[in-house]
Amino acid sequence: MHVAFFTRYSVRSLAEDSVSLTALGLPDQRCATYRPRVAPARFVTDASLDYVARRLRFLGYDVVTVRGARLEELYELGRRDARVVLTLSTRHPKRFADVAHIVVPRDDAASAVHGIARSHEAATAPFSRCPACNVALERRHPVEARGEVPGRVLRQGGALTYCPSCGKWYWEGSHVDRIRAWLERAIGRPLEQPEPHDPPPSASG
């Protein structure tokens, strides 16, 4: 199984040391509060923010998507698993006042990714998580992918990565450059480059 691997927004934080988005280089009209960079954060969201979630996973962020979840269910999961809730809703139920959340309008994914990347560390390296299901990818030998990926990919002899959860294979492809360019524009800096012997995972399809 293989796959292409390819907001104006406001943020509310319960941290007392929050800073304005203006200080992070975002326009004044997007001002809210945001925590300074801290240890790697984990996030939870629903399918309405799937586009943002996938791009955060490309950067190495741990983002769980719960399809069909009600807002209260997201906050329950956020509390239980110590995750920050990413949501389109401005409603924050009082009984979940202890759960951090980020309000992300759907019309500006790049700004959402920018703000999160400036204020939270990624859990893993770029292109090291499955963008579909969030699981860490495993490096595999091409021989293991026979019958699963195009022959031309196997003939290149490069290492492949595999998602043990959804069964998708990833390898280096030309479209990774497009994804990398989008991410670098969004976060405003170059992405970490892999070692020559350790190519970034990609996929085709």
Above 80 in pLDDT, residue 177?
yes
pLDDT at residue 188 tops 70? yes
Is 95 within the bounds of a domain?
yes
pLDDT of residue 26: 43
Give pLDDT, residue 157: 67
Q: Is residue 162 part of a domain?
A: no
In a domain, 71, yes or no: yes
Tell me how many domains the chain contains: 1
How far CA 129 is from CA of 12, 67, 122, 160, in Å, comes to 27, 19, 11, 13
Distances, alpha carbon 31 to alpha carbons 24, 26, 34, 92, in Å: 10, 8, 9, 18
In a domain, 66, yes or no: yes
* 151 lies in some domain: no
In a domain, 79, yes or no: yes
Q: Does any domain span residue 132?
A: no
**Does 132 or 143 have the greater pLDDT score?**
132
Token pair for 52: 């943002």
What pLDDT score was predicted for residue 194? 63
Q: What would the two tokens of residue 92 be? A: 């924050």
Residue 130 to residue 63: CA distance in whole angstroms: 10
Please indicate, yes or no, if residue 157 is contained in any of the structural domains: no
Q: Give yes or no for residue 3 having a pLDDT over 70.
A: no
- pLDDT at residue 79, as a whole number: 97
Residues 36-59: tens digit of each pLDDT: 555 688 999 999 999 999 999 999
More confident: 85 or 169: 85
pLDDT of residue 180 exceeding 60, the answer is yes
The conformational region for residue 60 under phi > 0 = left, psi -120 to 50 = alpha, else beta, is left
Residue 140 pLDDT level (bands cut at 50, 70, 90): confident
More reliable by pLDDT, 29 or 108: 108
Helix (H) or strand (E) holding 56: helix 50-58
Residue 79: is it exposed, middle or buried by C-beta count within 10 angstroms (0-12/13-18/19+)? Answer: middle
* Token pair listed for 36: 């300074």
Tell me what the mean pLDDT of segment 86-98 comes to.
Answer: 96
Structural domain boundaries enclosing 85: 10-119
pLDDT tens profile 152-164 = 777 776 678 899 9
